[in-house]
Structure 1
């Protein structure tokens, strides 16, 4: 891995992994606790419509993804909270419409779309300095929003009824969370692609939640785990000549399965320690 760092693209990839891991640690924790994992997947796939929009109208596909994913996130959040429709139905509809719009717009766009697949499957090795600047800016926005509305986000995550009684603007905070998920999805699409966003967003937080219960600690642990997964995945992909995004996800998946497997053993050990104390 040290040898690989002599290349600019590897250094950029490593920095991108760190920046994305910070956002995943924070937002992934809220996603897992609120049990809205598939909403993040729906937003991710709907974001493809924005990529098609960018190609068709000749502006940055990343900017298109930001706009489209935020609109999709707000749409999912509003419809879910104000209608009786099932959440999975809403997500499926948004998911399908976003993907369909993106595909049609790309079909209608003249010329060769060289890097189109990188948005679907990720291309962390192709992350540029401009991409890093965008990721840093999105990280700052996400961290600022999480810090500013931490108590409100905590309230709606654990007891929405109490939050409503306490005059917390539940709907507004929920929609803010949706927008934060959308921004995180856009950050991650260059690393693992829109297809695998849901995995990297949720697995570090899910692992962290098995070992710590405090939300702040869970965010920190999830961020550290995300950095570990991206670094090890990059090293393996470089050493074995594998696709980086898929390798990162496989590393994360292996650790998640291992953490699930050791949980029964840890539950047996803890009572014995308590008796000894």
Structure 2
């Protein structure tokens, strides 16, 4: 039995898949804390789908997918920012228009120019078939996102909780908004091949939402979210070998199950804790 459980570790493609899934999961987990606190879950969803036309155009132009996807994501972010500032529409409506427009354009391009870019791979990823060059690109993107958070994490946090203080120390809330959008686009690109455009939103929201239930301190929240992202990435890639199912699907389902446990049993913000608090209030 023990020998069977160790079989995935005997294959190089499985080791690569587990390593890259853990790396992307950790980075997405870190960023998910800012996404959850900012209330940008829909923004992450929009950017993850907006990279699809960039992938197709990159293939047509013979350039790396990461470049096309990142450019497409930044263009979508700029479009959302422009529409939000020039129309009376609510932000969720703007996000919905841009997200569906870019995603529809990507599907249209795929239908016009059939290629080796399979729709299923774009939507659901293929972490088991990632090439060495793609792994290098994803690793570079991940390192850049982590470095940006390390350097500008304090300013980003101030932009979420106290933008007046950020302005007082010489910072710019607008610049921090642009930085967060850029980091979201970059992470969506990195996660595209690991879990796909559909599931990357889960990695950008669920770890942060789970950590939010478990602690009130931002430092602990980021540590918990990164650990959840890395752990479920590693576990999901490992389990997918035995389940013979979608690696991205297993990763996100694992994160969702952890969220459900936290939702029920979190010591301060869980359902059980809330019920105990209500009973204590009524008894008093």
1:50 counterpart SS class: helix
Residue in 1 that maps onto 2:128: 125
Deviates more, 1:70-79 or 1:181-190: 70-79
| TM-score, normalization by structure 2 | 0.88
Residue in 2 that maps onto 1:224: 227
Residue in 1 that maps onto 2:63: 59
Q: Distance in 2 between matches of 1:78 and 1:23?
A: 28
Q: Distance in 2 between matches of 1:167 and 1:83?
A: 29
C-alpha displacement of 1:138: 0.7
1:80 to 78, 84, 89: 84
Contact 1:52 1:101 in 2 (8 A): no
C-alpha displacement of 1:95: 0.9
Contact 1:74 1:179 in 2 (8 A): no
2:205 counterpart SS class: helix
2:72 to 62, 68, 90: 68
Q: Deviations over 1:20-65 (max 9, x none)?
A: 0221122111000101100000111111110121233233333211
Contact 2:55 2:68 in 1 (8 A): yes
Q: Distance in 1 between matches of 2:83 and 2:179?
A: 15
Q: Distance in 2 between matches of 1:84 and 1:20?
A: 36
Q: Deviations over 1:143-196 (max 9, x none)?
A: 121122122101111123443455421111111110000001111111111011
1:190 counterpart SS class: helix
Which 4+ runs in 1 deviate beyond 6 A? 268-271
Q: Distance in 1 between matches of 2:71 and 2:175?
A: 19
Query: Are positions 1:4 and 2:11 aligned together?
Result: no
Residue in 2 that maps onto 1:244: 247
For 1:183-198, list aligned pairs within 5 A.
183-198=186-201
Aligned length: 271
- Cα separation, partners in 2 of 1:123 and 1:248, compared to 1, 3 Å: same
Q: Distance in 1 between matches of 2:38 and 2:246?
A: 32
1:213 counterpart SS class: coil
Contact 2:56 2:117 in 1 (8 A): no
C-alpha displacement of 1:222: 0.7
2:175 counterpart SS class: helix
Query: Are positions 1:207 and 2:210 aligned together?
Result: yes
Unaligned residue ranges in structure 1 (runs of 5+): 272-277
1:168 counterpart SS class: coil
Residue in 2 that maps onto 1:42: 46
2:160 to 157, 161, 174: 157
| TM-score, normalization by structure 1 | 0.90
Contact 2:19 2:234 in 1 (8 A): no
Q: Deviations over 1:236-268 (max 9, x none)?
A: 221121221111111111111121111133457
- Cα separation, partners in 2 of 1:82 and 1:129, compared to 1, 3 Å: same
- Cα separation, partners in 2 of 1:167 and 1:85, compared to 1, 3 Å: farther
